[in-house]
Amino acid sequence: MALKPLEKTPVINTSDFGIGDIYVSPFCGRYCSIDAKILTGEAYRWSSIRRVWSAVLDSQIEMKVFETLPSEESVQEFKDNLTVFNWSRIGEIEGELRHDVMANIKYISNDLVPSLGEVIHIGMTSEDATSNGEILQQREWINHVMGHTANFLTIALEQVEKYKDLPMLGETHLQPAAAVTLGKRISMWIGPIMEDLAKLDELKSRWHMKGIRGATGTYEALMKIFDGDYEKVKDLQQRVSQKLDIEITELIPGQTAHRSMDVDLLSCFTSLANNLAKMATDLRHIARMGEIGEPRGINQVGSSAMPWKQNPMKAERLNSIARLLPGFQVMANMTQQVQGLERTLDDSAGRRVYMPQSLLAIDACLILATELIGGLNVFDNVILTRLNNMLPFLSTEELLGSATKQGAPREATHHIIMEECKMVWSEIADGTVSQNNLLERLEKGGYEELKNVKFPSNLEPLNYVGASVGMCEEFVVNEYSKFVRETAEKYPVVTEKTQV
């Protein structure tokens, strides 16, 4: 019987869609806090640039640069509208001028505050506005990341205290090793993140504006305005600095701020992302053994095919997003390398992508990390069962040390214990024995090297965690931890987010 021809699947054309169906970054739709999306937005960027224009204008008015002063009312109206934008109108103007800074200047003079006249941007070049404005914007990025990091660390320190004496199997080479406590393991994760927080604080302390320096960084336009009086030029810089509450660098840039600033900022973000991702990777390994699970929503689905699945989705997502940061840092490194002479424009388009995306990426990582560390599902029974099965092996280090102290040859004793361990591993693997009987075998083996050794009758897990408990107790009150709490108070976190 002849088969009917199959119907073809309909072809989808771009003409079937509208402007509301265009690509939107996953950072905007899924992963990031509202604050981070505002801080990276064009409105916040241009509002920061307008702050620079406003500070320069105020300073020039004070220094009597203008023969005819703009009215106080118009200057105040400009300040009152720093965050007001008609993007369609600005777009129209930019379409004519093909220059975003000039388009914004014309919009302010012709549309936003016509009474102000054409008094902003006097003696400035575009990068005097944009570089300095972006530095103000990025200072708020640093504050935002510091606040989120301190909040994460504060919650993590509470978990260190809570689980400081919960023993669990430590692993090296992803294989069973000596015991630790969960609190100690969390301390291991967050120690480098505390250092990242300190690095951000140090970076902020030297986060300085480039100043109002002109086309090649020589103050040429301002020198003409002030009739060659360099002291007045410096006076203007100081006034602008005070109005914006940020220092101006003592270094000598070209047209733009030194692009090494981008590298330094993304270096901090990348280090933080790496350390958060290390924690996420470890949590995935531990979840594989059933010892710890992620926080889960009531109706959360682990798999569309396997209803029982408990996938570590948040940790996996954190790992995935964290991989972006090293790539963004490479881009910043390359931009710094190829900036020609006083400035070439090949920095601009790329920076519009990787700089804001870097903040959004680290924001998403911090949200996920905070949810993970604060909502850990700790399965004590699984943890202790797995540890207890390994305790006979873990106790052999103590046996070896005791035998050696009593004069037994260390190498020969080590070999005896190692061979018996191999046998036990083999018998457990093939089902010959169901429990770890290593100590019984060693005690009854008649080994001369072990004849004076006292074998433990009760393997108490906390006897094998070393100084883990004391280390955790010291850790939660050390100077780093005090700094964490001080930072959390200084930069409170806005918890509202759009997160799937």
d(CA 434, CA 225): 90
In DSSP terms, which residues pair with 169 in a beta bridge? 179
Strand duo 377-378 + 175-181: pairing: unpaired
d(CA 29, CA 496): 14
**Once rounded to an integer, what is the mean pLDDT over residues 346-373?**
96
**Once rounded to an integer, what is the mean pLDDT over residues 87-96?**
96
d(CA 136, CA 138): 6
Model confidence pLDDT, tens digit, residues 332-349: 999 999 999 999 999 999
User: How does residue 53 score in pLDDT terms, banded at 50, 70 and 90?
Assistant: very high
Model's pTM, two decimal places? 0.92
**pLDDT at residue 500, as a whole number:** 43
Strand duo 377-378 + 167-172: pairing: unpaired
In DSSP terms, which residues pair with 209 in a beta bridge? 248
**pLDDT at residue 160, as a whole number:** 98
Give the least confident one: 134-148, 264-278, 289-303, 337-351: 289-303
Torsions phi, psi of 228, nearest 5?
80, 10
Contact 59, 239 (CB under 8 A): yes
Quote the distance between the C-alpha of residue 126 and its chain's center.
31
**pLDDT at residue 303, as a whole number:** 57
**pLDDT at residue 499, as a whole number:** 47
User: How far, in Å, are 279, 286, 374 from residue 472 at the CA level?
Assistant: 17, 20, 17
- Residues with Cβ within 8 Å of 381's Cβ and at least 6 positions away in sequence, in order, are none
Give the least confident one: 95-104, 309-318, 376-385: 309-318
User: How does residue 435 score in pLDDT terms, banded at 50, 70 and 90?
Assistant: confident
**Once rounded to an integer, what is the mean pLDDT over residues 39-62?**
97
Contact 251, 212 (CB under 8 A): no
Model confidence pLDDT, tens digit, residues 174-196: 999 999 999 999 999 999 999 99
Give the least confident one: 124-138, 180-194, 407-421: 407-421
- Work out the angle at residue 201's Cα, subtended by the Cα atoms of residues 198 and 205, and round it to the nearest 5 degrees: 140
- Residues with Cβ within 8 Å of 269's Cβ and at least 6 positions away in sequence, in order, are 145, 325, 328, 329, 358, 359, 361, 362
Q: Any idea which residue has 């009760």 for tokens?
A: 458
The percent of residues in the chain predicted with pLDDT above 90, rounded, is: 77
Model confidence pLDDT, tens digit, residues 311-340: 889 999 999 999 999 999 999 999 999 999
* Mean pLDDT over each residue of the chain, to the nearest integer: 93
Does the pLDDT at position 495 exceed 80?
no
Q: Determine the residue type at 417.
A: I
User: How does residue 299 score in pLDDT terms, banded at 50, 70 and 90?
Assistant: low
User: How far, in Å, are 95, 112, 116, 442, 468 from residue 460 at the CA level?
Assistant: 75, 74, 79, 19, 15
